[in-house]
Structure 1
Amino acid sequence: MRILMVEDNNSVCEMMEMFFEQQVDWTANFIQDGEEGWTYYQENEDDIDMVILDLNLPSRDGISICREIRQINPYVPIIMLTARDSESDQVLGLGLGADDYVTKPFDPVTLMARMRALQRRSNLSQEAKSDQTDTDENDFDIETKHLRISEKTREAYYDDQLIEGLTPKEFDILLTLASHPKQVFSRDHLLTKLWEDPFFGDERTVDAHIKKLRQKMEKYGPQLIQTVWGVGYKFDESEVN
């Protein structure tokens, strides 16, 4: 895996460099300035398998870099790093296309576990797209009144309209909920099932992903993901005409 890490804290870079060097099949480039990081990505896009972005950077912040990367590459995994810990920051980063969100200070082993999980999902997604042929009814693993989902192509359709811009995590959440209509999933259940186990982050990460998933689905019709207050979330289209 070829990694670009844009992080202005020299101590963090040195720490992660030591951990990355222990992985024989990983190489990493460290850049401590936002504008330089964006320029490097543009010039080396084909040689980068994952991007780790600090939220606050000199010259250019991680949010704007994430936005620019997603405009030219919707698939490369992106992890945001930040010293802040609020749902609004998570929603902002995830809404611009980041696949995961890690709050400082963090355990390097935990970050690397998140990276491996994202790498696996990204590889599966790319393999599915490379094998994709014309999609017909038999290609869908889940078909409900309003939703059709294909695990092979990792695509979801709301009333025959492709739900565009789903991140790997958003697709996994939708697949999990839609696979068990009306079953309520708690945040802990979703974290255990879809995130690297054990998960050391904030359970509000689930809320941030659900919020962005809902926003993307609402472009095509009424909301199918319902909140069960005090418990969690469920997929329920029984009241949708």
Structure 2
Amino acid sequence: MMSAVTDAPKGLVLVVEDERPIADLVRLYLSREGFGVQVEHDGAAGLAAARRLRPVACILDIALPGMDGTEICRRLRAGGDWTPVILLTARDDEVDRILGLELGADDYVTKPFSPRELVTRVKALLRRAAGPPAEQVRTLGAVTLDPGRRTVTVGGVPLTLTATEFDLLAHLLGRPGRVFTREELLAAVWGYASHAGTRTVDVHVAQVRAKLGDAATLIRTVRGVGYSADA
């Protein structure tokens, strides 16, 4: 176990990665950007660290000894912990990536990856999670979204969304009736040239709809194009 730098100006990032050279490289690049870093090398220790340290973000390898990254993510979400999560995977199987997103991960990076790109994704995710405080509250049908407080309610009942799910819904509600292509949503919500592909958008839309319940019909699929929000 490596000691954490808990007083770093940009907060603490938890990295759970069993390949030590990769973990050391990620730690180096995050530290250069002003983040404190806690590194763990197995799943059980990673989950315990996430619960104990309350990091600003978690970077979880999927293939970990003892407990894989998707299970860590599942347990955090089941416990009400919505810390932003990025998954690392060396696997080409889309099923693993989609599973991670369905369990509440915000993003994933496929190995081999550029550590600079990973840091960029962490920073983009944290910017989205912070949100612009001056934006106007948006209401469409039974759904009310407050960008400043990062809250969503349906008929007055609060919902729990990941940072990415929140930003996707906020973007759609920002221009009701406007049809956004999947590529436009990737660029606007994820904030970088994503290698994840448009399937990532579809999975997140499905997750948001599931959480909206009876209000899910406000997100309309435009076949062959993308999505829009309509009352």
TM range (shorter): 0.7 to 0.9
Q: Map of 1:50-65 to 2, 5 A cutoff?
A: 50-65=57-72
CA deviation after TM superposition for structure 1 residue 169, in Å = 1.1
CA deviation after TM superposition for structure 1 residue 170, in Å = 0.9
**Partner of residue 155 from structure 1, selected from 151, 162, 166:** 151
**Aligned equivalent of 1:236:** 230
The farther-off stretch of 101-110 and 69-78 is: 69-78
> For 2:227, what is the secondary structure of its paired residue?
strand
Unaligned runs of 5+ in 2: 1-10
1:45 aligns to 2:41 (yes or no): no
Larger Rg: 1
8 A Cα contact 2:74 2:103, kept in partner: yes
Q: State the Cα deviation string for residues 127-171 of structure 1 (Å, max 9, x = none).
A: x7xxxxxxxxxx962223332221122222223332x22111111
Matched residues in 1 for 2:209 and 2:166: separation? Answer: 11
8 A Cα contact 2:141 2:218, kept in partner: no
Matched residues in 1 for 2:92 and 2:223: separation? Answer: 23
CA deviation after TM superposition for structure 1 residue 189, in Å = 0.6
**Aligned equivalent of 1:112:** 119
Matched residues in 1 for 2:118 and 2:31: separation? Answer: 15
**Partner of residue 214 from structure 1, selected from 209, 215, 225:** 209
CA deviation after TM superposition for structure 1 residue 87, in Å = 4.7
Matched residues in 2 for 1:86 and 1:214: separation? Answer: 25
- Identity among equivalent positions (%) equals 36
**Aligned equivalent of 2:190:** 195
Change (3 A) 1:39 1:188: same
Matched residues in 2 for 1:222 and 1:211: separation? Answer: 9
8 A Cα contact 1:62 1:80, kept in partner: yes
8 A Cα contact 1:87 1:204, kept in partner: no
Change (3 A) 1:150 1:21: closer
Runs of 4+ in structure 1 deviating by more than 4 angstroms, as ranges, are none
Matched residues in 1 for 2:145 and 2:28: separation? Answer: 41
Change (3 A) 1:50 1:230: same
Matched residues in 1 for 2:80 and 2:153: separation? Answer: 21
> For 2:123, what is the secondary structure of its paired residue?
helix
Give the letter for the 1:30 counterpart: V
CA deviation after TM superposition for structure 1 residue 90, in Å = 3.2
> For 1:193, what is the secondary structure of its paired residue?
helix
CA deviation after TM superposition for structure 1 residue 231, in Å = 0.8
8 A Cα contact 1:91 1:209, kept in partner: no
Q: State the Cα deviation string for residues 41-79 of structure 1 (Å, max 9, x = none).
A: 33x324x22211111110111112112222445332211
Matched residues in 2 for 1:152 and 1:236: separation? Answer: 22
Q: Map of 1:23-172 to 2, 5 A cutoff?
A: 23=33, 25-42=34-51, 44-46=52-54, 48-124=55-131, 141-162=137-158, 164-172=159-167
Matched residues in 1 for 2:75 and 2:178: separation? Answer: 38
Give the number of aligned pairs: 220
CA deviation after TM superposition for structure 1 residue 192, in Å = 1.4
**TM-score, reference length from structure 2:** 0.84
**Partner of residue 12 from structure 1, selected from 6, 17, 22:** 22
**TM-score, reference length from structure 1:** 0.81
Matched residues in 2 for 1:13 and 1:144: separation? Answer: 44
Matched residues in 1 for 2:207 and 2:131: separation? Answer: 22
Change (3 A) 1:40 1:154: closer
